[in-house]
Structure 1
Amino acid sequence: MPHLLTSALPYANGPLHLGHLAGAYLPADLYARYLRLMGKDVLWVCGSDEHGAAITLRAKKEGIDPRDIIDKYHALNKASFAALGISFDHYHRTSTPLHHETSQDFFRTLDQKGGEFIVKTTEQYYDPAYQQFLADRYIKGTCPRCGHTEAFGDQCENCGSDLSPTELIEPVSVLSGSTPELRETKHWYFDLAKHEDFLRRWIQEGRVDGEQVHDPTTWKKHVIGQCMSWLNEGLQARAITRDLDWGISVPHPEAEGKVLYVWFDAPIGYISSTKQWCLDHGRDWRDYWQNPDTELTHFIGKDNIVFHCLIFPAMLRAHGDYVLPKNVPANQFLNFEGDKFSKSRGWGIELHEYIEEFQDFPNGEDALRWALIRNLPEQSDADFTWDGFTEYYDKDLADKLGNFFNRVTVLTHKYFDGLVPRSTGARSQVQHQLQQSLSTLATHFEAFRFKDAATTFVELATFGNTYLQDAAPWSLAKADPEDPRIAEIMFDCIQVAAALALTAHPFVPLVSAKLRTVLKQDIVANGDWAVARDTLAAGRPLIAAGHAIGQAGVLFPKIVDRKDDSLLQIVLRQRNKLRSSAELASSAEQSGGAKIIDTPAADEAKPEISFDDFTKLDLRTATIVTAAPVKKSNKLLQLTIDLGAGEQRSVVSGIAKHYDPSELPGQQVVVVTNLAPRKMAGVLSEAMILMAEDAQGKLGFVAAPAGFGNGLGVR
């Protein structure tokens, strides 16, 4: 069964930012890599969208040829994708002769069928100074919905309303700045309304001509919802031609001087990209696009839902020879430090900038991939922050994955000279855990739940660390260096390491390659996951006894490191870029409170949060029972707190410079009880005490009124 994957063609009129990566490209890469590991026939195509008004407008403003624009940004974006491990099978261009030919053939087929196009003569804006009709983006004016004075002829970017040029108040030509005039022109329209009944059944029921072609319950709710909103309002015919001098010429004798509208030719780019790949590899493109067994999946952002779930499927249906998508797992939007990405305001970071800035950062490409995966906007908008980037890298990659590999390899070399020890081969909790983890990961991948898959991956690393810590082979070795349990423990841990090295590949492919190298295994190949699944099911190990492994060392040097802050400085530079612009001063202040930036002033407000965010915190009253210094630390105290009902917890708090331990027993406090436990200076901390800080930096306890008991909720 062929799996044909597409990602929305990015415009070649500027560099891409992190939001683009999180929307249509990283999720598709995860899915493609997983399918390949399962031994599937996968073809993932994409390419640059090189037509449209935005490109010609930029070229006119800069006084250059549109091809100079598309050549520059096609090369830049393609290189950025490659650097970040985005594993397209083919990255095409819509400016190629093959794409022009494919798009024109598509138009001719629909035109010859009859009834698919409506030809209308309408009035459109014309700029006499430039002697040309104005496409939507060539016109600006005041939005009739919100009053924004910089709305375009197709959309107001302030309120998000879809517009037509004639709706704008006081329209002006972007080219000349003068008021345009209305003139008659003829255009071809795709009769989308004709396909409304088909689209409704296909979206709601997953049925075409009475046959079940997809399962609508597997589609994201916001995708279905947006489609049904359009269908319920009634579909309208959409223009597919434009009066422009840059684009694909309309192959019709009455359409001289007109080009195909970019929204019509861009999705056909998936077909031309497939054709080019097949030409290069001796395959037939019809095996993918005209094979009823093909699993076609479109990866897009939510702003492309209508095009990929209504318009393009209607085009494919009208043509009659093409498969329809089985799923369109559109993502929501990714924001940046609490605000929308904005090139004009310098808010955000572009892919090529990240690659350049983090080129000396260990595993920098995968660090970005991992931070985005852990926060993908799968069901709702998400927010990328440098704090989150730091936390995901340090806690997941350094503390869990890297720490586990380092300990396992060190101990294997210490006790068995780097050779996988022999085991009884009996099925164990480890064998069961590995099978369960691989199965759960597969379920999440196949349901496009990539955040859940990442969580499962981290849980497997956590399992390995916990198993090793609880088994404590070093303790057994002290009592009896020949204890056979040591070999069993290390054998099990090496199997976990092998599973992690394999399943890391979709998430962090460069790291996966390093882990496999540490284990002296070949780089993962197509089908390896399926082989591992079958190997575990048969009760066989992923790495056999006697296999030699290497030393991991420090795979992930931490960003927040008391001895070396070089990585932290790289992250801080990015945060400080946002604060250095006067234009962004107020916006930067609202994004404050970052743990890795300068300590905020006492009266500085943090960003607004929802009530639901606040209710996630479990705040309770407590009393400090004991307090003692933490060894080898002049800042930390270890406290025991009483939460009532016989529950006591250990808390590590950085208050040693403010309080003598002897004066703390009996002190009432308020604590956050549902934070994940973590070790600080080797001591487990199971809650966090709330403190107030005055202008001089003095800390004081937040406490309930006298007489309140322990364990009471704070609301």
Structure 2
Amino acid sequence: MTNPKRYLITSALPYANGLKHVGHLAGAYIPADIYVRYLRAQQRDVVFVCGSDEHGTAIPIQAMKEGTTPQAIIDKYHEAMKQDFEDLSISFDIYHRTSSPLHHETAREFFTNLNDRGELEKKESEQYFDEQAKTFLADRYIKGTCPNCGNENAYGDQCERCGKSLSPDELINPVSTLSGSAPIKKKTTHWYLPLGQHEDFLKKWILEEHKEDWRPTVVGQCKSWIEGGLQPRAVTRDLDWGVKVPLADAEGKVLYVWFDAPIGYISATKQWAIDNNKDWKPYWQDKDTKLVHFIGKDNIVFHCIIFPVMLKLHGDILPDNVPANEFLNLEGDKMSTSRNWKLEMRDYINDFVKKENGGGAMVDALRFYLTHIAPETKDSEFTWKGFQTAYKSELMDKFGNFENRTLVLMHKLCGGKVPVFHNELIDDDDKQLITDITTCKDTITKLLEEYKFRDALAEVIDLAKKGNQYMQKKEPWIVAKQLETNPEVQKQIDNCLHLCLQLTGNLAILINPFLPNIAKAIIHKLKLVDRVLEWKNAGSMKLLSVGYSLREPQLLFRKLEDAEINEQIEKLKAGLIKAVEPVKEQPKEEAAPKAEIQYDDFAKIDLKVGTITAAEKVPKADKLLKLEVDLGFEKRTIVSGIALHFEPSAIVGKQVVVVANLAPRKMRGIESNGMILMAEENGKLKFVNPDETTANGSGVS
């Protein structure tokens, strides 16, 4: 969209169930803040909204872990996250929350609008139900074995080991996390968004209209979803925590969090409008508004497929772009809250920001590094040594060094005042630096408009590097040695430092979207007012007036000592060790006997003797073996989670007892037709097999 009247910028709503790490910061918040600060510098009409996502099962689960209430959890983490964002100079116009009455009202109105117009489908389905807890189970309240990698602690919506998205029906041996018992299937009614009816719209809008201007990762993921066939998505859930469904026949149901959360962008805009005596509607309903969502790649489907369908049906504008970032890893491994392998924003703030006088430089040091390694096109990695190296070689040695040398030499060689520029002495080096200053703005503007923040930042640093090279070539400190015998060389010094001072002012403007605290520190020393940071002033060679006195130089950046970097590395390792430290084994209690059954129940199980004729490991599944079992009357393929206990070659020829009438189940793309009976003793598995060789296919009774 060219020349929009206004901009609405959103960052993904973080779950209010814990503190957030720097991976979140790099993915959705710093890129959005850079873009917003750039737009504000252009004097654009822009609103930057975000807020805490305070519904969904993650909240009550965290409340159970901490022994408190869901309300106490969201109150605690909403305030904590809001403060962390402020401490790291993320400049939201509003940081709202989805527990607010205004949001509940907005979400219910949205649902009612779609439902009254017949855009939602009401369907009966079977859902897992915990008979002991007397409640339907949301996906996160169900655990079982992942069919993809064999992880025995996979959730009903995702396996946190292999990252695969799941449904509860795919889990092997599912159990309720509330009671520990196996759930049953029970009928329930829900409302669905029929995504399949909107495939043509999505194909045209994404795969044709935005094929070139959206990131390939975003288009590729959308293409995969659309071409795989879109299925109806439930928009309600059987829960007692969330936005109540506004229908008489929906007792005990709330809006599903993926439906409710993105509406939080709208309710946040409404609250901002109330607070500022504005009209919120143009930001969501006027076609001249440019809507941009900043997210991580795990949120692509919600912001590019589901929410746009909702917005289209509701009559609102669609996002102009969704510049999703890839993931940020940490010291060679994926960040993991459960394994405590993470760098929380709060930890960085406590260790580097609050210990500093003001702390702005160390805030910008983190903003710089996370932009420098931004995972815009592929996963990237945060390392403490990498942070230290980039900080020194880029910020200190190039950017900070140029700014400091310029001010030190100006005070030493020009009496602390901006020197005059002598046009009659201009040379090719002067002309080249002037060209670099006046043209850099266009390059950086283009990159920012294309959401290439990493490249844009590199251009600013490179301009400082060119300033260093220019000063090194001119050597005003050497030229100054000739002043006693040749006072005319002062003009050469004047020209050099005049251009370097103008470049320093330009660097403040250009670095401002990325490092706002450093930009403010520079213009303070140059005695420039805040409005000089407006984007229109970039490229000007008249930022500083001749003869104007400037403040004394002070270093922008301090040295990062090896000891404090090593301390962070050791702290990270210690945290991981603590997180995975095995719990001391307790005396094992006898397992409680299972509920009594009748003979007719047992008689339904068809147990057969078989012989394993082949065995091999299932690729990328540590616990799974693919077995070929001869049952006499036929050969069966059975996938069994015994790979950690037996070598494949050692069990070929072994006779086993098989549950032969178990319904087929796909595991890692392989259809398993049966189950091998095993016994467990002290954590080790043993086969249940006949004492003597028995004909394959013999029944067991």
Compute the displacement of 1:336 (Å). Answer: 0.3
Contact 1:28 1:299 in 2 (8 A): yes
Partner of 2:402: 404
1:315 corresponds, among 307, 310, 314, to 310
Whole-Å Cα distance in 1 between the matches of residues 528 and 94 of structure 2? 28
1:261 aligns with 2:262: no
1:193-342 correspondence to structure 2 within 5 Å: 193-206=196-209, 215-320=210-315, 322-342=316-336
Q: Would the aligned equivalents of 1:334 and 1:383 in 2 still touch at CA under 8 Å?
A: yes
Amino acid at match of 2:537: V
Report the Cα distance in structure 1 between the residues aligned to 2:508 and 2:67, rounded to whole angstroms. 51
Are the counterparts in 2 of residues 155 and 162 from structure 1 also a CA contact under 8 Å?
yes
Does the 8 Å contact 1:15/1:352 carry over to 2?
A: yes
Paired with 1:91 and 1:582, the residues of 2 have a C-alpha distance of 32
Matches within 5 A, 1:161-560: 161-206=164-209, 215-320=210-315, 322-358=316-352, 359-361=354-356, 363-424=361-422, 428-479=431-482, 480-483=486-489, 484-524=491-531, 528-533=534-539, 536=540, 540-559=541-560
Residue segments in structure 2 that go unaligned for 5+ positions in a row: 582-701
SS at match of 1:218: coil
Letter in structure 2 aligned against 1:113: R
**Residue in structure 1 matching 2:125, options 113, 122, 125:** 122
> Does the CA contact (< 8 Å) of 1:412 and 1:490 recur in 2?
yes
Aligned residue identity for 1:177: G
Amino acid at match of 1:505: N
Match of 2:152 in 1: 149
Number of residue pairs matched? 564
For residue 66 of structure 1, what is the aligned residue in structure 2?
A: 70
Q: Give the distance between the partners of 2:81 and 2:167, measured in 1 at CA.
A: 31
Closer/same/farther in 2, CA of residues 585 and 77 from structure 1, 3 Å limit: closer
Whether the 8 Å CA contact 1:36–1:42 is kept in 2: the answer is: yes
Confirm or deny: 8 A CA contact 2:10 2:292 kept in the other structure: yes
Look up the SS of the partner of 1:428 in the other structure.
Answer: helix
Cα RMSD (Å): 1.7
Alpha carbons 2:340, 2:576 under 8 Å: kept: no
Percent identity of paired positions between Structure 1 and Structure 2:
51
The answer (yes or no) to whether the contact 2:12–2:28 under 8 Å persists in 1 is yes
> Equivalent residue of 1:223, what SS?
helix
1:430 CA drift (Å): 2.4
Alpha carbons of structure 1 residues 478 and 286: separation in structure 2 relative to 1, 3 Å: same
Alpha-carbon spacing, 1:585–1:135, altered in 2? closer, same or farther (3 Å): closer
Rounded Cα–Cα distance in structure 1 between residues aligned with 2:275 and 2:574: 49
The CA deviation at 1:585 is: 11
Q: Which residue of 1 aligns with 2:94?
A: 90
Letter in 2 for 1:547: Y
Deviation at 1:217, TM superposition (A): 1.1
Q: TM-score, normalised by structure 1?
A: 0.77
The counterpart of 1:29, out of the listed 27, 33, 45, is: 33
**Cα displacement string for residues 446-497 of structure 1 (whole angstroms, at most 9, x for unaligned residues):** 1111110111011011011111110111222212344211111111010111
Determine helix, strand or coil for the equivalent of 1:383. strand
The structure with the largest alpha-carbon Rg is 2
SS of alignment partner, residue 48 of structure 2: strand
Shift of 1:443: 1.0
Q: Which amino acid aligns with 1:466?
A: Q
Partner of 1:649: none
User: Aligned letter for 2:71?
Assistant: R
* Contact 1:192–1:238 (Cα < 8 Å) also in 2: yes
8 Å CA contact 1:502, 1:524 repeated in 2: no
CA change 1:524–1:397 in 2 (3 A) is: farther
**Counterpart Cα distance in 2 of 1:159 and 1:376:** 23
Q: CA deviation at 1:532?
A: 3.2
CA contact (8 A) 2:509 2:537 kept: no
Cα shift at 1:161: 2.1
Letter of the aligned partner of 1:364 in structure 2? Answer: M
For residue 321 of structure 2, give the secondary structure of its aligned residue in structure 1. Answer: coil
1:609: which partner in 2? none
1:78 aligns with 2:85: no
Q: Secondary structure at the match of 1:417?
A: coil
In structure 1, the residue corresponding to 2:187 is in which secondary structure?
strand
Which SS does the other structure have where 1:72 is aligned?
helix
How much does 1:586 deviate? 11
Structure 1: which amino acid aligns with 2:520? Answer: A
The structure-2 alpha-carbon separation of the partners of 1:582 and 1:292, relative to structure 1 and needing over 3 Å to count, comes to closer
Structure 1: runs of 5+ lacking an equivalent: 207-214, 560-566, 588-715
Note if contact 2:418-2:546 (Cα within 8 Å) is conserved in structure 1. yes
Partner of 2:567: 573
Aligned residue number for residue 663 of structure 2: none
Aligned residues of 1:579 and 1:585 also touching (Cα < 8 A): no
Alpha-carbon distance in structure 1 between the residues aligned to 2:193 and 2:575: 46
What residue identity is the alignment partner of 2:27? G
Secondary structure of 1:298's partner? strand
Cα displacement (A) at 1:350: 0.4
1:581/1:301 CA distance change after superposition, 3 Å = closer
Contact 1:357 1:570 in 2 (8 A): no
| Cα distance in 2, alignment partners of residues 61 and 499 from structure 1 | 51
CA contact (8 A) 2:144 2:155 kept: yes
Using the alignment, how far apart are the partners of 1:300 and 1:557 within structure 2?
33
1:406·1:551 contact (CA, 8 Å) conserved in 2? no
Change (3 A) 1:246 1:462: same
**2:291 aligned counterpart, secondary structure:** strand
Structure 1 residue 429, shift from structure 2 partner: 2.3
1:553 to partner: Cα distance = 2.7
